[in-house]
């Protein structure tokens, strides 16, 4: 379609319009008012300069009067836009990831490396209780204090003497795992138990602190000497000590005197070890889980006669 100009009225019109020039068409119609209006329109159009109508793609960069297209004033009203729905949280997150994909990729790589380092270097825990939990009743160890050591041999058989780690003046004899008899000048001076398999007058290793106090109360009054207790430190998910011997020890003492006897009973209490924590090449003794409490149990029972002198309890207090 193209614009053409009427030769009679000098009015531009579309050449595809079947009516042709609107002024010519109005002259042939019956509408006189319209004819007069079209005549006026024709007279006005004759006074306008020639206008060349160009397609949109060939429009000049400047408007008439030298006004550049970039300087054209903006439209008065905002162009209409189709309504859009708000983005979901997932879409916003995905758009952010796409916009920052290099930073996200670096973060993922760093996270994987740190996770591998943590898995390789994190502490590992191996369960193991010391002393173990009690399953059966212990066998009594019926050895009386201040009797000849030959009488003990007659009951349990002859045992070779061993070096006593506490005093060289005492001869130590082993009558089973964790069962020791210390002799002084050929007489039984002390009985020491470090195993859960044996008991001496109801006292044994592995009992909780309330049970230990109950057994000792059957023999006499209980003394609780004060002792400094070192606190465990955390490693991983557990509270640990560096070594087994670093565990704090509390000793309960009961002194039995005539007519019930003449001996002292010492029961050492310590936190029960629940396992071993390994971190790299270091190994620690775990006594509780982080945030938990330590369970105090008996780890050694020792009965010492007070009728003869010796290194465990000092001078005698009773006549032999």
Over the stretch 294-312, which tens digit does the pLDDT of each residue have?
Answer: 999 999 999 999 998 888 8
Q: Which of 40, 60, 43 is nearest to 52 (CA)?
A: 60
Confidence at residue 197, expressed as pLDDT on a 0 to 100 scale: 92
Confidence at residue 44, expressed as pLDDT on a 0 to 100 scale: 57
Look at residue 234 and tell me if it is in a domain: yes
pLDDT higher than 80, residue 252: yes
Q: Which of 13, 36, 59 is the last residue of a domain?
A: 59
Dihedral sign, Cα of residue 238, residue 132, residue 203, residue 319: negative
pLDDT higher than 70, residue 186: yes
pLDDT higher than 60, residue 27: yes
Q: Which of 44, 59, 74 is the last residue of a domain?
A: 59
**Are 52 and 131 within one domain?**
no
Confidence at residue 141, expressed as pLDDT on a 0 to 100 scale: 94
Residues in a beta bridge with 305: 263
Dihedral sign, Cα of residue 252, residue 309, residue 141, residue 167: positive
Q: What is the C-alpha to C-alpha distance for residues 179 and 109, in angstroms, rounded to an integer? A: 59
Distances (CA, A) of 195 to 102, 133, 314: 64, 11, 26
Q: What is the C-alpha to C-alpha distance for residues 309 and 170, in angstroms, rounded to an integer? A: 11
Mean pLDDT to the nearest integer, 269-275: 94
| pLDDT 10s digits, 53-88 | 555 555 555 555 555 655 666 666 777 777 777 888
Mean pLDDT to the nearest integer, 6-22: 75
Confidence at residue 281, expressed as pLDDT on a 0 to 100 scale: 82
**Between residues 13 and 306, which one has the greater pLDDT?**
306
Look at residue 208 and tell me if it is in a domain: yes
Confidence at residue 275, expressed as pLDDT on a 0 to 100 scale: 94
Mean pLDDT to the nearest integer, 95-123: 81
Look at residue 92 and tell me if it is in a domain: no
**Are 264 and 176 within one domain?**
yes
Parent domain of 55: 3-59
Q: Which of 28-42, 106-120, 133-147, 207-221 has the lowest mean pLDDT?
A: 28-42
**Are 164 and 286 within one domain?**
yes
To the question of pTM greater than 0.75 for the whole model, the response is no
In residues, how long is the chain?
320
Confidence at residue 67, expressed as pLDDT on a 0 to 100 scale: 54
187 is written with which tokens?
Answer: 């007489």
Look at residue 76 and tell me if it is in a domain: no
Q: Which of 20, 38, 59 is the last residue of a domain?
A: 59
Total domains in the chain come to: 2
Mean pLDDT to the nearest integer, 134-156: 91
Mean pLDDT to the nearest integer, 207-228: 89
Confidence at residue 113, expressed as pLDDT on a 0 to 100 scale: 83
User: For residue 119, what pLDDT band results from cuts at 50, 70 and 90?
Assistant: low
119 is written with which tokens?
Answer: 């898995």
pLDDT higher than 70, residue 37: no
pLDDT higher than 60, residue 30: no
**Are 157 and 290 within one domain?**
yes
Confidence at residue 84, expressed as pLDDT on a 0 to 100 scale: 77
First and final CA of the chain: distance in angstroms? 140
Q: Which of 94-103, 141-150, 201-210, 216-225 has the lowest mean pLDDT?
A: 94-103
User: For residue 238, what pLDDT band results from cuts at 50, 70 and 90?
Assistant: very high
Residues in a beta bridge with 238: 235, 289
Q: What is the C-alpha to C-alpha distance for residues 51 and 3, in angstroms, rounded to an integer? A: 11
Q: Give pairs for 37-45: CB < 8 Å, separation 24+.
A: 38/9, 41/9, 41/11, 42/6, 42/8, 42/9, 42/10, 42/11, 45/9, 45/10, 45/11, 45/12
| 211 within 8 A of 261, measured Cβ to Cβ | no
Look at residue 70 and tell me if it is in a domain: no
pLDDT higher than 80, residue 318: yes
């Amino acid at each position: 379609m193209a614009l053409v100009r009427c030769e009679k009225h000098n009015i531009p019109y579309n050449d595809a319009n079947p009516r042709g020039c609107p002024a010519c068409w109005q002259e042939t119609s019956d509408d006189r008012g319209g004819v007069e209006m079209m005549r006026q329109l024709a007279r006005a159009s004759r006074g306008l300069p020639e206008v060349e109508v160009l397609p949109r793609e060939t429009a000049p960069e400047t408007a008439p009067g030298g006004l550049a297209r970039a300087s054209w004033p903006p439209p008065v009203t905002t162009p209409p836009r189709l309504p859009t729905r708000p983005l979901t949280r997932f879409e916003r997150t995905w758009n952010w990831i796409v916009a920052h994909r290099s930073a996200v990729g670096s973060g993922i790589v760093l996270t994987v490396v740190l996770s591998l380092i943590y898995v390789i270097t994190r502490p590992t825990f191996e369960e193991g209780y010391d002393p173990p939990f009690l399953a059966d009743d212990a066998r009594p160890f019926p050895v009386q204090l201040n009797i000849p050591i030959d009488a003990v041999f007659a009951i349990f058989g002859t045992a070779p003497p061993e070096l006593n780690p506490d005093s060289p003046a005492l001869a130590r004899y082993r009558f089973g795992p964790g069962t020791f008899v210390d002799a002084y000048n050929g007489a039984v001076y002390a009985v020491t138990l470090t195993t859960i398999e044996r008991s001496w007058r109801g006292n044994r290793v592995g009992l909780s602190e309330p049970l230990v106090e109950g057994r000792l109360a059957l023999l006499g009054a209980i003394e609780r000497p004060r002792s400094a207790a070192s606190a465990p430190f955390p490693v991983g998910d557990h509270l640990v000590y560096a070594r087994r011997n670093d565990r704090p020890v509390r000793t309960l003492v009961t002194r039995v005197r005539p007519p019930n006897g003449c001996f002292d009973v010492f029961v050492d209490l310590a936190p029960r070890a629940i396992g071993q924590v390994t971190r790299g090449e270091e190994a620690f003794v775990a006594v509780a889980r982080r945030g938990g409490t330590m369970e105090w149990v008996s780890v050694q029972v020792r009965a010492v006669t007070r009728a003869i002198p010796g290194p465990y309890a000092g001078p005698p207090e009773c006549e032999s």
